């Protein structure tokens, strides 16, 4: 808001116009949602299957590291928070640092994907994507980088197909989902409070509005009110809001989760904690985390409401890796990846850890 209030009529008219324009902008953002150009680092699709797409990112910078990085994203939101916008993109940063970067985007599940499960994604899709990355990069080793649920899938994959994995990086990855570590999510997903089959039988997939509401309710005042208080402040005080627009667009763009995956996620992870107990089986094959011996960088946020520190830290004891490091950053689930904190925290940490291990 302008501090100087004009007294002449044209000045007052201009002020009124300006205020009306700002109020209209704010109202449109609330009603229509944020629009922003996201995911702009140049890329090409090098493989696709069903809705899944494997992207290979380009850069003017010459490739300086032999070992490519494959990002495995979660199934709850779109993956462009890894490549939010120019200057605020983790992928852009890595590409500019000379890394060869690939991203596996699972796409948006349709009603025909209701039976899709971790078994399909980890045993069929991931091995195929990995082969494609290795062929494209012309190497026989790669760095597997999993974020959130993508980290859990990376662990399942690494346990069953350890060959070729040069490094493993886990970011905000739930591993030990015993009730004392899982907070509100754990309580909501507990057996007496939630039966995932009710949703799967009624809708097929987990509807995006359920996924969005579930996540937003972990911090309801900030997500439903604080977000708009910040928005009005930025609009009325003429502050730059491109970052807010991009983040808001990403946060509002929840996607449906395949019914089979949702059922496994709730039952096998939150209700029975099968991954940490070594009881998880994919098509009869046991996921044994101690079989993973690749160097491990495990990162979690101390302000994360979705994945708590002990949940992620459990990987340190369960994996068979000798070279392993746990890093706690002062950030939330998404703040780990983007923004000023990420530029000073996560990005350089990953680069410094990977550089000597990517030759």
Partner 1 sequence: MVDDPGSRRGPDPTEPWRRLYQATVGALAPGDLDALGFHRQWSADRQGSGEATSGNADESRDGQVFLRQLAGWTTESGRRTAELAALMARLVPRCGELARELPRQMLGNGLPTDPLDFTSRLYDATSGPLSAMIRDLLTDEAFLQLLRRLLENWATAESLGARLSEDVFRRLQLATSSDTTRVATLVVGLDEKVDRLEDTIDDLDHGQDARTRDDELARLREQVGRLEEKLDRLLAAADDENGRAEQVGNGAGNRKVAGR
DSSP conformational letter for 207: -
Tokens 């999993």 locate to: 146
213 binds partner 1 (CB under 8 A): no
Of 17 and 233, which has the nearer Cβ to partner 1? 233
| Phi, psi at 349, each rounded to 5° | -60, -45
Q: Respond yes or no: is residue 35 known to be catalytic.
A: no
Q: Is 194 in the site for partner 1 (CB under 8 A)?
A: yes
181 part of the active site: no
Distances (CA, A) of 183 to 149, 194, 196, 266: 17, 15, 18, 14
User: Which of helix, strand or coil describes residue 32?
Assistant: helix
Residues 15-34 touching partner 1, rule: CB under 8 A, are: none
Q: Which helix (H) or strand (E) holds 329?
A: strand 324-329
Q: Which stretch binds partner 1 (CB under 8 A): 198-206, 282-290, 293-301, 329-337?
A: 198-206
Q: What's 80's DSSP letter?
A: G
Among the residue ranges 77-85, 154-162, 168-176, 200-208, the one whose residues contact partner 1 (CB under 8 A): 200-208
Is 96 a catalytic site residue? no
Tally Cβ neighbours within 10 Å of residue 64.
Answer: 12
Q: Does 203 bind partner 1 (CB under 8 A)?
A: yes
If the CB atoms of residues 165 and 199 are measured against partner 1, the closer one turns out to be: 199
Structure tokens at 129: 């994507």
Cα distance between residue 193 and residue 112, in whole Å: 28
Asked if 123 interacts with partner 1 (CB under 8 A), we say no
Q: Specify the residue, 87 or 111, whose C-beta has the smaller distance to partner 1.
A: 111
Task: Please compute, for residue 334, the number of CA atoms within 13 A of its CA located in the half-sphere on the CB side.
Answer: 21
Which of residues 13, 96, 112, 180 is near partner 1 by CB under 8 A?
112
Q: Is residue 1 close enough to count as binding partner 1 by CB under 8 A?
A: yes
Contact pick of 11, 42, 179, 226 for partner 1 (by CB under 8 A): 226
Instruction: Give the residue from 148, 187, 75 showing the smallest Cα distance to 307.
Output: 148
Catalytic residues, by residue number, are 148, 304, 333
**Residues making contact with partner 1 (CB under 8 A):** 1, 49-50, 110-113, 124, 128, 131-132, 135, 184, 187-188, 192-195, 198-199, 201-203, 217, 219-222, 225-226, 229, 232-233, 236-237
């Amino acid at each position: 808001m302008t501090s100087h209030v004009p007294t002449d009529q044209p000045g007052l008219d201009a002020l009124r116009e300006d205020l009306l324009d700002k109020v209209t902008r704010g109202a449109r953002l609330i009603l229509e949602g944020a629009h922003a150009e996201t995911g702009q680092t140049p890329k090409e699709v090098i493989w696709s299957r069903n809705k899944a797409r494997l992207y290979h990112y380009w850069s003017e910078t010459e490739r300086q590291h032999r070992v490519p990085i494959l990002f495995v994203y979660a199934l709850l939101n779109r993956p462009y928070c890894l490549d939010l916008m120019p200057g605020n993109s983790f992928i852009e940063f890595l590409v500019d640092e000379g890394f060869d970067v690939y991203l596996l985007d699972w796409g948006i599940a349709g009603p025909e994907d209701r039976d899709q499960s971790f078994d399909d994604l980890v045993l069929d899709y991931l091995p195929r994507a990995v082969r494609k990355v290795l062929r494209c990069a012309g190497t026989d080793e790669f760095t597997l980088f999993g974020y959130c649920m993508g980290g859990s899938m990376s662990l399942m994959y690494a346990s069953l197909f350890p060959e070729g994995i040069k490094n493993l990086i886990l970011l905000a990855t739930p591993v030990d989902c015993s009730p004392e570590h899982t907070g509100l999510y754990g309580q909501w997903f507990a057996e007496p409070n939630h039966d995932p089959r009710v949703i799967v039988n009624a809708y097929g997939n987990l509807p995006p509005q359920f996924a969005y509401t579930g996540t937003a309710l972990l911090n309801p005042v900030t997500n439903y009110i604080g977000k708009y208080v910040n928005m009005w402040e930025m609009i009325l005080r003429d502050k730059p809001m491109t970052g807010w627009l991009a983040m808001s667009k990403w946060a509002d763009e929840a996607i449906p989760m395949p019914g089979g995956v949702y059922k496994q996620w709730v039952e096998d992870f939150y209700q029975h904690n099968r991954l940490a107990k070594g009881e998880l089986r994919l098509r009869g094959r046991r996921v044994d985390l101690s079989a993973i011996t690749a160097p491990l960088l495990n990162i979690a946020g101390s302000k994360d409401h979705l994945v708590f520190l002990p949940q992620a830290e459990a990987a340190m004891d369960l994996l068979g890796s000798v070279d392993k490091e746990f890093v706690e950053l002062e950030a939330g689930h998404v703040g780990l990846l983007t923004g000023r904190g990420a530029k000073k925290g996560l990005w350089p940490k990953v680069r410094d850890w990977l550089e000597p291990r990517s030759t």
